[in-house]
Amino acid sequence: MTQEFISFAALGIKELQPYQPGKPVEELQRELGISKIVKLASNENPLGPSEKVLEALRSVMPDLARYPDGSAYLLKEKLSDFVGVKTNMLTIGNGSNDVLELLARVYLRSGIEAIASQHSFVVYSLVTKALGADLRVIPALDYAQDLNATLTAINDRTRMIFIANPNNPTGTWINKADMTAFLKEVRGDVIVVLDEAYSEYVDEVEYPDGIELQRQFPNVVVTRTFSKAYGLASLRIGYAISHPEIADLLNRVRQPFNVNAMSLAAAVAALDDQEYVRAAVDLNRQGMKTVTDACDKIGLPYIPSVGNFLTIDFGRDAMPIYNALLHEGVITRPIGVYEMPNHLRVTIGLASENEHFIASLSKVLT
């Protein structure tokens, strides 16, 4: 007997499309037999893990047969000092995506709405729809979130607003004055998720500190990650900073051991290695200049970015360019799923990787 297993799946799940990650290096090696491959597709830290992290990982290995510390005591103590909030405001996740999902599970369900911007991170849509809630997508303004239109879209059923600052895949950001004016207008029973996955890279005087905003507006939840500037993408660890009452709710739906011992130890060591973060941010600043200068020279428009990636406008379907770059051994990220079929997002890499990308780009465009 054959069954349409999808027919009796939960409504929200039926409509989901699986998340499409950047192409893995090994896959391209298998497909094209190219050995020298540069992956600039997933906004990963090109420096590789810090030495201090590797040391911490080795020290955990003898205890791998034991469950991790489900309360994440050590990491919360460290983070509490580092970000300046009480430990009861912290929730540790298996990546910040895990925290986004916990927030959705606490607050979203069928009949409830969340709001996100056009061209914003797809995980917002995934976690919202998986719960059977509706996602209201606000048309972007110059590729950035339109905060006035976001305010206008709030209704009685709105329970959550997602704001990535800066946003992926556009690299756009919202300044402190605009964000504060916006938050003043949002009802207290609407959770505003400020996703600060790339905050370490931002070098703008007017960039708002999410922690300060959270202090001022208790309905703000800040999410941060160790996946980008801290170089721990593979270990999956991130966190939320929220009002203690929200943290308590997140803790109720969290799996008891959602973060593994290696990741917890690595995050503690990574926080202690701010020199590594500074090196990553410096490298990114230089690389961003190299890549934007090259685009200017070629005459390619791009969206100015404060993150560790640049989104380039080819003015036509970008897939042939993406494929041609693959043949040169460069993996970038097509962003058709973000309604940007003419753009490719490229992560800023090591100097040599950026040069490889620029040379390949010049080659495939001629």
In the complex, the residues that contact ligand PLP under the rule CB under 6 A are 43, 95-97, 121, 164, 168, 195, 197, 225, 227-228, 233, 238
- Least distance (Å) from ligand PLP to the CB of residue 156? 28
Q: Which of 348, 276, 308, 349 is nearest to 53 (CA)?
A: 276
Intra-chain end-to-end CA distance of the chain, in Å:
56
- Least distance (Å) from ligand PLP to the CB of residue 56? 19
Copy the structure tokens of residue 153.
Answer: 């879209």
Nearer to ligand PLP, 147 or 358 (CB): 147
Nearer to ligand PLP, 46 or 95 (CB): 95
For residues 139 and 238, give the distance between their C-alpha atoms in angstroms, rounded to a whole number.
28
- By beta carbon distance, the residue nearest ligand PLP is 95
Q: Give bridge partners of residue 158 from the DSSP assignment.
A: 113
Nearer to ligand PLP, 19 or 257 (CB): 19
Nearer to ligand PLP, 168 or 360 (CB): 168
- Least distance (Å) from ligand PLP to the CB of residue 305? 12
- Least distance (Å) from ligand PLP to the CB of residue 257? 17
Nearer to ligand PLP, 197 or 340 (CB): 197
The alpha helices in the chain, defined as continuous H runs, are 11-14, 25-32, 51-60, 73-79, 96-107, 122-130, 147-153, 176-185, 210-216, 244-253, 261-272, 274-298, 319-327, 351-365
Interior angle at CA 305, CA 125 and CA 120, nearest 5: 10
- Least distance (Å) from ligand PLP to the CB of residue 224? 8
Angle formed by the axes of helices 122-130 and 96-107, to 10°?
A: 40
- Least distance (Å) from ligand PLP to the CB of residue 299? 28
Q: Which of 194, 202, 213 is nearest to 96 (CA)?
A: 194
Nearer to ligand PLP, 17 or 362 (CB): 17
